[in-house]
Structures are given as structure tokens and as C-alpha cells.
Amino acid sequence: MFNSMPQIWPCDNFLFWSKTRTLMHSYAAVFRHFWTLEDTLVGYMFNDLIWCGQEEDSGFDFSSCPEWSACRSHPVYSLWRQASQNFAEMACGNITILLNGSIVNAFNRKSMFGSVELDSLDPQRVNYVNIKVVTSLDGPHIESCSQGSIVDLIQILQSRGFHWTCTDNDQTLMILQCIRNPQHSSCQTYANTLLNRNSLTSD
């Protein structure tokens, strides 16, 4: 299937994520040049689709399937693993990774990004890996560019010869969260900071 539907994406547009799905889609909608795995043909076709085989029938079961962890060779996991590998192997130029700083192990070696995509990135094709660590408005603030599993990720990137940057609570990502919850106290403080900054700039 993958060989019959090859796709090539332009460099500098690849967006990877782990445990930041909702925010990732909002971010990609704002910066429309980004491409995620879900934007590929395979990703679009199978995203959120439940399917597996049936012992008593030759067709597919689209309503009730075991979790990925229940089967060593789960068909859905196998498909997404191959799709993730192909997507990462195509990555080139500057790529972006969104990670959740409100959980322990924001970078998890057992996640699809940590176990498949990271190892499939080619330092000869990727110029910079831009890590963006974002926490939820309500916290907790557990991990950042300087602590937790993000440090492990940076060490892996360095050992493989990647250039990298890391940003905590990117302004756009915080604004996107505030759009969904404008009355949050953090958003009020953040809005005042932006207003003061704009006032100083215009003076």
C-alpha cells in the first residue's frame, strides 16, 4: 500500500508531536505550511478509524477491537508504525516537535515518536530539530527544555549529530490555548504582558 501511494513533501514543513494532539492540530491550522502524519494520504484515510480482523469472519471489525498493547502484531499499530517511519524518513530541512510539559516523560521512548520517528530521522537531511515544550494553562509545569525527559531527547539529538533548538511555552501555543479558554487567569496575565510590550514598542 505504501509503495503504491508514494508522497513527497517540501522541506521545512514537517511537524511531529507526542501527547499534544489537540494543540498540534490548532497549531497546524494557524501555520498552514506544516504537514503532520495525519495530513498524508494514509494518515487521512486511517486517522481515528477503528478496524481489525475477525476470527469468525473474513471481513473487518469496525466497532470493537483490542488495544494495541493486547497484541504483539496489532494490525493498526503495524500500519501506524510503518506510516510514522515513512513520514520521518521523508523529513528534511527544519522540523518541529511539540511536546507536553505537563506530564512526566514528555519525551517517551515507548511512544510512536520516541520509538519510531526519532530513530528514522536522518541528520543528513534535517537541518534543525526545533523542540517546543508547552504546558497546560492549569499546569502542572513538570518538564521543560532544561529538565526531565526533554534533556534526554536533546542528548540523543546531539549524539546523532542533529542541530537543535528548544523553546518553553511558545507564545503562539499559549495564545491558542487562551483562545479556547480566554477567562483563564494565566490568559489575563499574558494579555496584559502583550499589551504592555506593544505599548513600549509604539512609544
Catalytic option among 11, 52, 71, 178: 11
Largest Cα span, the chain: 74
Give the other-Cβ count within 10 Å of 164's Cβ.
Answer: 16
Q: Is 145 a catalytic residue?
A: no
Give the other-Cβ count within 10 Å of 133's Cβ.
Answer: 28
User: How many residues would you count in the chain?
Assistant: 203
Separation CA 169–CA 132 (nearest Å): 7
106-127 burial by CB neighbour count: b if 16+ within 10 A, else e? bbbeebbbbebbbeebeeeebe
Separation CA 138–CA 45 (nearest Å): 34
Q: Is 92 a catalytic residue?
A: yes
Catalytic option among 52, 65, 71, 92: 92
Please, is 95 exposed, middle or buried when counting C-beta atoms within 10 Å of its C-beta (0-12, 13-18, 19+)? buried
CA distances from 6 to 33, 45, 108 (A): 20, 14, 29
Q: Nearest-CA neighbor of 174 among 162, 191, 160, 195?
A: 191
Q: What is the set of active-site residues?
A: 11, 92
